[in-house]
Each structure stands twice: as C-alpha cells, then as structure tokens.
Structure 1
Amino acid sequence: MSRPASPTSTTESSPPAGSLPLWQLLSGCADAVAAVRQGQSLTDVLAARRPLERPGVQALSFAVLRRLGTAEALRKKLVPKAPQAWVDALLLSALALACGTEYNEHTLVDQAVEAAKRHARPASGMVNAVLRRFLRERGELLAGLEQDPVASFNHPAWWIKRLKQDWPDHWQAILMANQEQPPMTLRVNQRHHKVAAYRQQLVDAGILPADTGHETQASGARDVPVDRPDPIVLAQGVPVNRLPGFEHGDVSVQDAAAQIAAPLLVHAGGHPLPAGARVLDACAAPGGKTAHLLELADLAVTALDADPQRLVRVNETLNRLGLSAHTIAADASQPAAWWDGQPFDAILLDAPCSASGIVRRHPDVRWLRRESDISALSRTQDAILNALWPLLKPGGHLLYCTCSVFKMEGQDRIDAFLQRTTDARALPSPGHLLPVVEYLDPARHNRGDGFFYALLSKTT
C-alpha cells in the first residue's frame, strides 16, 4: 500500500529524560515541522535525524502536528505576518506544546528562546515576546478559537467537511480518535506459538501485567482459530528488541484492523486456500500482510510493489520471519509488464490511498494531503482493480482494502466496480471500520485503525 512508512521507532513516548537539552529537541522539531509544511513526509525527515535525537524529536513532532491547527491560528493572532519558515515552525512548535502538558510553560519558553538564539538569533527577542504574551493571554486567545473548526479539531477544513458528509453521526469521534496516541498491537506468528503462550511470555518479561485478562486485554488467555485475528494490545509501546523472540520471527507489530486482511482472504467463502495456492499481494510494502498470509498457510505468494526501496522492507520482514515470497518491483496497474500469464487463486489489493485511517500513527498525513488527492487516488484505485481482476481465476477471491475512512476510497469504489463488472459478486466482509467506540468489538475491547474491506468473488 502507498501509505507512510512506519515511524523510525516502533513506540511513541516522551523524550528520554536527560538525553538531550530541550532547546536542541525543539530545534529538531522545528526542522521537522518546517519540512512537513513544505510537503515532506515526517517519516523521511525523522529517518535523517541522528539516532540519539530521533526519539525526542519524534515525540515532540507528533505532539505538535496533532495541535498544528490550534498553533497556526494562535500564531496568526499573535504575529499576523508570518516570520521566516524555520522561525515560524519554532513558534508553532512552542505554541502547540504550551497548549499541552508536556513541559513547564516557563521552561518551554526559555528553551524555545535558546533554540532561536542558536539558529536565528535576530528572531529570539520576537520569539520571547510572542510566547510570553501567549502565557499572559492564554485564556482569551484560546476562547477566541472556539468557533474555528480547523483550530478546534486540528484537521484541514476540507477533511472535516468530507468526514461530516461521509459519517454525520461519527465525524467528531473520528477526529478526536485521530488525536490519541495509538497502542502498540502485536500479531503472534501462530506457526511458532499459540497466542496465550506468547502472551505469557510478555507477562514473564514484565511487558504485560500478570493479572491482565479478557476484560482489559484485546487478546485474553484463550486461543482462537487462525481464521480470526487475535491481536495483543500493549497500552504502552516498547522497543521491538524487548519483545520475546522478535528477532526469531515469533511476533510482529501490526494494527488490529490490518490483521483482518490475511485471515479473511485465506478463508474466503468458508473454505481455506489449498497448499500451494497462487496468491498475489499487490501494493505489498511494507510486508505485514504478505507475512501474515504465509504464516496462515503454505501459499505461493507473489508480493508486488511499485517502489523498489519499499520492497526491500518486504524482504527484510520475510527474512526475519523465515518466510519466502516471489517479490516484484512493478506497477500493479500494468500487469503486461510483470504477469506470467498464470491466473491467481486469490488477490489481496491493499490499494494506494489517503491513509486517512491511520492519522493517529502518522499525524503529518492530514497536513500533507490535499482535497484533490482523493479524486486522483480513487482513479488509481479503479485502474488497479480493473487491471487485476482479469488475473483472478473463476471462483477465486479478491480482497480490496484501504486504510482510509473516506467512502470515496472504500464503498464508493466497490459499488462502482460491481456496476461495471458482471462477473464480480460481493461476499460478506467488514466494510468500513472506524476508529470510534461504536465500531468496537465488545468482546475484544480494541480500537484499531480506520480501514475498509470488501471481499469479491469471481463467478465465471
């Protein structure tokens, strides 16, 4: 799928105490915020930071981007004419953090001024004056933003409007869910362990509390059939090297909603795919769903992705898990360039999309996307669906999914495809999954990312 790569760290937390001075982290955060405002992916920006400063800069950047709408509205009130880009980013970062509880406000101001002195000394006086005025007038300034939806919900106006249209009963809950820090969700490799047995390893390692049970944990002490996802959810993330057996392929990090894909396709129609079945995983990077397919069954999987660099991630994931697939760097919408002419028993199409369902994990996405992107992406989704359908055997299944909460990238695409494709039939599938309470499975107490799933069968 064409979505942001996973953050450099697998956990999100506050900057490590005593690691680097706050002014230095604020300087790095300003670099990151300035880059995102200029259209760069936060993941790429963080990857370029020194390892020592990366966790702290990531933590600050995540917090700032979740409050960027508020910060921009405040800066416009305090400094109507935007300063130079980096200084503006520093001001936005300090204002956003001052609206939260991460730091003592006076320490924050002092350290922001220090960052300005070291990077843009002539602007340090202005930074000091603006931030101290905000502290004096905080209540009045924030009250003046209450009628501004972008400042209140910290999403672009077009995004809010689209959610209102698509989900009139849930749009505010979706926006609020996007502001949360997501849990770390694990997928146990059931070729290696039963879920309950691995969960006990987490308890023994001190990662899960010993008394965690069915009422508070997405994966309780029971085991379920492999045709159902059974995620383990950690309220507090940990580095992957602390997960027992991670380097040996015992477990992977994958959101609960994403864990639905492989079981749904492998057991489509109530009959498991036979050993050796040919399966295409289109738009496969970074490889989580590819690996999950191979964990569930002995399949001949072709993993396809247009980006050779992202395909490297797929191979790394498979190597860690001791699995293998045929990987191809190619455009899924142009099968003449890569298909060998042998039809597939099943196809997983994790289509390029807006990534609007994973904003809590990638808070820069909302500020990088443009309204015109959604129409362009929907055309790409149609093109790939049309191109891959002829590659599927009669009686085979195609699972279409996107990590999007926008209907134009989900149900609208499938409705249009079914209207123009006479040999396609829709089978029961989850449809749109939203990251809100109403869409929780009450037996699991887990809120996954926003996703869409549609399972199609080829009739002739």
Structure 2
Amino acid sequence: MKNSAKTTALLSPKKAFKRPQTPAHKKIQSVRALSARIILQVLDQGKSLSALIPELQSQVKAQDLPLLQEICFGVCRVLPRLEQIIKKLVDKPLKGKTRIVHCLLLVGLYQILYTRIPAHAAVDEVVNATSALKSENFRGLVNGVLRRFLREQQEILAVVDKNWQTLHPEWFVNKLKKAYPNWREIIEANNQKPPMWIRVNQQLCTTENYRTLLLTEQELDSFKDENPNALRLAQPTAVQNLPHFTEGWVTVQDVHAQWSALLLEAKNGDLILDACAAPGGKTTHILELAPQAKVIALDVEQSRLNRVAENLARLNQQAVLICGDATKPDDWLPNAAERLIGKKTDLQFDRILLDAPCSATGVIRRHPDIKWLRQEQDIGQLAALQQQILTALWKKLKPNGILLYATCSLLPQENSEQIRTFLANTPDAKLEPLPFATQENEIGKQFIPSEFSGDGFYYAKLRKTDKKGG
C-alpha cells in the first residue's frame, strides 16, 4: 500500500539485503538458524517478514519452508510473552553481537510452547543451530536455558501469565481503547491466526459451484458470506490445491478487501484509476466485474507492479501499469493517457479506487511483525500523506465520479477522521451511503477483525458533485 517514495520507510521495510551467491551445497540447512537471523532483522533492523522470507527461503529445503514461516510469524505474534520468559531464565541480557543468540532462544521457546515438535528434538535442533550461527561458545547457555525451562515450565508460566497480556505495543493498545469499547475483542482477534478467504471469478464460475468443486475435488469445506464472491475455507491450504487456480477461477483475498471492487461499482467502458494497486487483487477484481473497463494500475515501486502484472496474466486481463507517485499525478498521467488512448492528455476518471498507504493495523493477524515495525509517530505522517493523495487525485475525478477511499487500518485518524476533514475542506465532495449497517452519524464503514470474518478494513465512498458545494 505504498504511494510516495518519500514515505517508503514508513510503509515498508528497508530493501532486503542481496541474497549471497553461495553454491547450493553451502546453503543454510538449519531452519532454526535462519529463523533466528530473520527475527533479528525484523526486531533490530526494521525489516518485514513479507520481504525477508521470499528473499531467504531458498536457503532451506522446500519441505522446511512451512516450519520457517510458522516460527517467524509465530515469534512475532507472541513476542512479549517469550521475552518475559527469557528474562526469567537469563541473568544478563544478550545484546550487541549476542542478540542472535537471544533470537535463537525465542525460536526455541516458541517451538516448545506452540508447535507439536517433541520438546527434546526442538531443544537439540536449536542447540545445534549455534554452529550455523557461528555462536558455538553459547551452545551450553542455549542448552541450559531451554532445558531449565522444560524443568520449570509450570512455575515460570504461572508468573508470566498471571496477568492477561495484549501481546501488542502499549501505544497501539491505548489508541484502540480510545476508539473502541470492544478493544479487547480486537486484541484477541489480532492474536489468532487468520482464516483463508478466496474470491470466486464470476466470469468463470459461480460461488456456489466453486464451493461444490472444493468439496468434491479436494474435500475442502468452505463457508459463504454476505459478500457474494467470497468463500472462507474451513482450513487454509496451498493455492495449488484450489481447483483451476492457475486458470484464474479464484484469487486469495480477504473478504473485507473484496468489497473494494463491489463498492466501486465500475461499469464497462469506465476509465478507472486503481491507485496504490499492488499486489493487484483489487485491480483484477475490478476487471472481473467490468471486463471492458479501461484501468490504470498505479504503484510507487516497479517491483510491486511486477506482482500486479503476474496477477493480471494469471487471470488473462489487461491494464495499463504505471510506476509513479500518487501525490503527483501530473508527472505520470500524460504518459498513462498515451498508453491508454494513444495521446498525451490530462485524463479525468469515472472511478478512482484509493487503497491508501496506512499503518496496516487491521491486518496484524496476517502480518504480526507490524506490531513491532510500526511506531506511534508513523500515524500522523501517514495521515498527512493520505490527505495529500486524496487532494491530488480528487482533481482528476470527473464530475459525478466516484472515489472509493480504503485502508486496512483500525485507527480513526487514518479513516473516519481523515474523511471528515476532507469533506469539510472539499465543497464538491459528498459522502455516499454504503450497503452496511452503520451507527448514526458514522462516516464510512469500519470493519474490525474477528475469528470467522475478515480483517480490519475501512471504506468511505465519495461522489464529486457538479457544482462547488452542490
């Protein structure tokens, strides 16, 4: 959800380091060692799991990749609990060059507490990983700490778990308390693993027929939702297990994100801007619903646009992909127009989908490292960027056109407060109703995460009136 080069540091991790060109026989085989290295880069260097794991996963055997993901995501999900346990077991904090050993202890404790790996095997593998990390001098410490935890686990956890733990940073919990009476339910939902949702391509198959296919071909049960294109799988599965996935019959997409294209109400022939389009789930959904629409998919990073291109190719769809800054549409619109209609001109859009850069606090259960990457001071800067983009793109919307504002944030500062301010400052902007139950005077629709539903997501639908203030 990136939009401006100057804010990339706010919205995403630093560039993942270049993969070393080591011979295949020298690749790291220890899942525990690589997990510790990845966790260290998340906690100490501000890099994200979504960047690091694809970059480094070739260093483990293919069959070990699920375990690598389970450990890395799991440690980030329950980090404060593991940190408290380590404080009970280690006299002196492991700092500086020994931080990698600290991260290895996090890996070991997570395996003992949260996986089905036998405790003795988990300890042995983690102890052996000290060699791969060139930390053999700490082999005895790692062994001693983990085995002491096995002996004293009940007593240690009785102290650590005496009080309910949010497993979230305090600043974020305070913001949730201020915004939501049911903030504890949101915290609990964030701490669970997310359900897997898919979107059925109605051009190729009905939702009900695809549900039958899942059951008959793969013995996968699924559940429908009020969103007509969505199915929730009873159990997550690899995409290769989804019938006709490579032919574009379905796309993996959260149910609340699936409302974007439906609320946009694109029609064939419409000129549409999908701002901040990567990785392309919403772009492809727009084209499923309006195959003859003219779509420009914009993102600030070319590498992310490559993902959009891959998704378009899988679904056999066409869109004009533009790498550019959403706050400065005049810099890229003429070239986009030339590619779309054959001449350079200042385009005006029938529909704009602005999936704005945000804190991503609504998708913490899918990306638990967000809890430790995002900082409180980021929120104000992100809100300022959102306002810049809204103002810039509004000028490119036709009279009577629709701009759909969306974020995967839970914070009112990025959502309802942002739109309230925009409406107050924009006389030709009118808030349109949404097809959801809302509270009186609520601006837009805020979804919150829950066990059998979607992620945290926000929508506001704005229409450009013909006359200023009309």
TM range (shorter): 0.7 to 0.9
Partners of 2:228 and 2:377 lie apart in 1 by: 35
> 1:194-251 CA deviation, whole Å, 9 max, x = no partner?
1112222212212424xx6xxxx125xxxx9xxx543111122222122111111111
Counterpart position of 1:194: 206
Counterparts of 1:220-259 in structure 2, within 5 Å, are 228-259=227-258
Partners of 1:201 and 1:4 lie apart in 2 by: 37
Counterpart position of 1:359: 364
Partners of 2:267 and 2:111 lie apart in 1 by: 54
Distance 1:26 1:358, change over 3 A: same
- Conservation of the 8 A alpha-carbon contact between 2:49 and 2:73: no
Distance 1:407 1:174, change over 3 A: same
Further displaced range: 96-105 or 140-149: 140-149
Distance 1:103 1:153, change over 3 A: farther
Q: 1:336 aligns with which of 326, 330, 339?
A: 330
Counterpart position of 1:269: none
The answer to whether the aligner puts 1:61 opposite 2:72 as a matched pair is yes
Counterparts of 1:198-347 in structure 2, within 5 Å, are 198-209=210-221, 217-218=223-224, 228-266=227-265, 273-297=266-290, 298-340=292-334, 341-347=346-352
- Conservation of the 8 A alpha-carbon contact between 2:196 and 2:232: yes
Further displaced range: 393-402 or 65-74: 65-74
Paired residue secondary structure (1:153): coil
Paired residue secondary structure (1:49): helix
Counterpart position of 1:381: 386
Code of the residue aligned with 2:411 in structure 1: it is F
**% same residue:** 42
Code of the residue aligned with 1:288 in structure 2: it is G
**Gap runs ≥5 in structure 1:** 6-22, 267-272, 438-445
Code of the residue aligned with 1:331 in structure 2: it is D
The answer to whether the aligner puts 1:138 opposite 2:145 as a matched pair is no
Distance 1:229 1:331, change over 3 A: farther
The answer to whether the aligner puts 1:123 opposite 2:138 as a matched pair is yes
Q: 2:81 aligns with which of 70, 87, 91?
A: 70
Further displaced range: 349-358 or 47-56: 47-56
> 1:146-204 CA deviation, whole Å, 9 max, x = no partner?
4667xx2211111111111111x221111111121212211111111111122222122
Q: How much has 1:408 moved relative to structure 2?
A: 1.3
Code of the residue aligned with 2:120 in structure 1: it is H
Q: 1:173 aligns with which of 181, 185, 192?
A: 185
Counterpart position of 1:28: 34
Code of the residue aligned with 2:276 in structure 1: it is C
Code of the residue aligned with 2:300 in structure 1: it is A
Further displaced range: 423-432 or 313-322: 423-432
- Conservation of the 8 A alpha-carbon contact between 1:349 and 1:398: yes
Q: How much has 1:80 moved relative to structure 2?
A: 4.4
Code of the residue aligned with 1:34 in structure 2: it is L
TM-align CA RMSD: 2.1
Code of the residue aligned with 1:327 in structure 2: it is L
Paired residue secondary structure (1:249): coil
Partners of 1:157 and 1:234 lie apart in 2 by: 33
Paired residue secondary structure (1:205): helix
Q: TM-score scaled by structure 2?
A: 0.84
> 1:1-26 CA deviation, whole Å, 9 max, x = no partner?
23779xxxxxxxxxxxxxxxxx9222
Q: How much has 1:144 moved relative to structure 2?
A: 2.8
- Conservation of the 8 A alpha-carbon contact between 2:201 and 2:229: no
Distance 1:80 1:420, change over 3 A: farther
- Conservation of the 8 A alpha-carbon contact between 2:253 and 2:281: yes
Partners of 1:457 and 1:236 lie apart in 2 by: 40
Counterpart position of 1:44: 51
> 1:77-133 CA deviation, whole Å, 9 max, x = no partner?
322432212101001121233332433333322222122244311101111121222
Residues paired across the two proteins, number: 414
Q: TM-score scaled by structure 1?
A: 0.85
- Conservation of the 8 A alpha-carbon contact between 1:68 and 1:96: no
Paired residue secondary structure (1:246): coil
- Conservation of the 8 A alpha-carbon contact between 2:270 and 2:350: yes
Partners of 1:448 and 1:384 lie apart in 2 by: 26
- Conservation of the 8 A alpha-carbon contact between 1:229 and 1:260: no
Q: How much has 1:447 moved relative to structure 2?
A: 0.6
Distance 1:350 1:80, change over 3 A: farther
Partners of 2:374 and 2:212 lie apart in 1 by: 42
> 1:360-384 CA deviation, whole Å, 9 max, x = no partner?
1111111111111111111111110
Counterpart position of 1:455: 461
Counterpart position of 2:341: none
Code of the residue aligned with 1:136 in structure 2: it is R
Partners of 2:270 and 2:192 lie apart in 1 by: 40
Counterpart position of 2:20: none
- Conservation of the 8 A alpha-carbon contact between 1:42 and 1:364: yes
Paired residue secondary structure (2:285): helix
Q: How much has 1:137 moved relative to structure 2?
A: 2.7
Code of the residue aligned with 1:46 in structure 2: it is I
- Conservation of the 8 A alpha-carbon contact between 2:275 and 2:298: yes
Code of the residue aligned with 2:197 in structure 1: it is T
> 1:399-453 CA deviation, whole Å, 9 max, x = no partner?
000011111111111111111111111112351100137xxxxxxxx41011000
The answer to whether the aligner puts 1:92 opposite 2:102 as a matched pair is no
Code of the residue aligned with 1:193 in structure 2: it is C
